[in-house]
């Protein structure tokens, strides 16, 4: 009960819980438990059920504006969260000043991609999509490489991306991105020569 009390302390305040014990001292054992709902507390909880309460010092009479300001704060907090988790802005393993600056600049550029992607999806879908969810959906598409060695020792490699699933295709459509970012690429490597690349199809994302 102590663990439940700690985990659900807010709910406990709405009930009166009574235990019946037998024995004394170390031999005392709980044999039954009864509970009764405190109507005053329950009524107070129902009064605010489904409502989001914000306390602010802003001199603003429009509730919608306060809610928009609050969402801006949440966006800033989420920005730092993405930088520190998905984009690995820290810890910084570089020792030189130039290395640290390059690391931070790349992290900011990466977040620019994140921010633009989320903004465009929000405009089109009218909802906020988390970056980790976008990455989870995008991870369903991979690049596959097939290698075959010929009788004369040449190695032929063919690389191409798999077909995008429906959710990922929808994201590509909203962002105007080619659903197959990597077109089929074929390369041949002769034992005594450097590799020769042959591009087949569209290679880039527009």
Do the Cβ atoms of 52 and 43 come closer than 8 Å? no
**Which residue has better confidence, 190 or 180?**
180
Is the pLDDT score of 179 beyond 50?
A: yes
Is the pLDDT score of 34 beyond 50?
A: yes
pLDDT given at position 96? 92
How would residue 201 be classed by pLDDT, with cut points 50, 70 and 90?
Answer: very low
User: Residue range 142-170: average pLDDT?
Assistant: 88
Question: Which residue reads 């569209």 in tokens?
Answer: 202
- Most confident range, picked from 2-16, 44-58, 80-94, 191-205: 80-94
User: Residue range 33-40: average pLDDT?
Assistant: 85
pLDDT given at position 98? 93
User: Residue range 32-56: average pLDDT?
Assistant: 78
pLDDT given at position 203? 41
Is the pLDDT score of 149 beyond 80?
A: yes
pLDDT given at position 2? 67
pTM of the model as a whole: 0.53
Is the pLDDT score of 113 beyond 80?
A: yes
User: Residue range 177-200: average pLDDT?
Assistant: 70
């Amino acid at each position: 009960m102590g663990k439940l009390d700690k985990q659900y302390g807010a709910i406990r305040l709405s009930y009166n819980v009574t235990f019946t014990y037998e024995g004394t001292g170390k031999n005392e054992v709980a044999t039954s438990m009864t509970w009764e709902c405190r109507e005053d507390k329950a009524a107070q909880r129902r009064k605010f059920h489904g409502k989001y309460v914000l306390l602010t010092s802003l001199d603003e009479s429009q509730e919608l504006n306060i809610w928009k300001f609050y969402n801006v704060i949440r966006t800033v907090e989420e920005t730092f969260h993405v930088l520190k988790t998905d984009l690995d802005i820290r810890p910084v393993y570089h020792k030189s000043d130039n290395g640290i600056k390059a690391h931070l600049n790349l992290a900011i550029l990466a977040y620019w991609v994140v921010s633009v992607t989320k903004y465009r999806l929000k405009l089109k879908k009218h909802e906020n999509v988390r970056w980790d969810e976008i990455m989870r959906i995008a991870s369903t598409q991979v690049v596959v490489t097939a290698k075959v060695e010929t009788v004369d020792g040449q190695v032929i490699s063919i690389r191409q991306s798999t077909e995008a699933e429906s959710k990922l295709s929808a994201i590509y459509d909203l962002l105007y991105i080619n659903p197959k970012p990597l077109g089929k690429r074929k390369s041949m490597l002769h034992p005594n020569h450097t590799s020769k690349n042959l591009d087949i199809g569209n290679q880039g994302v527009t």
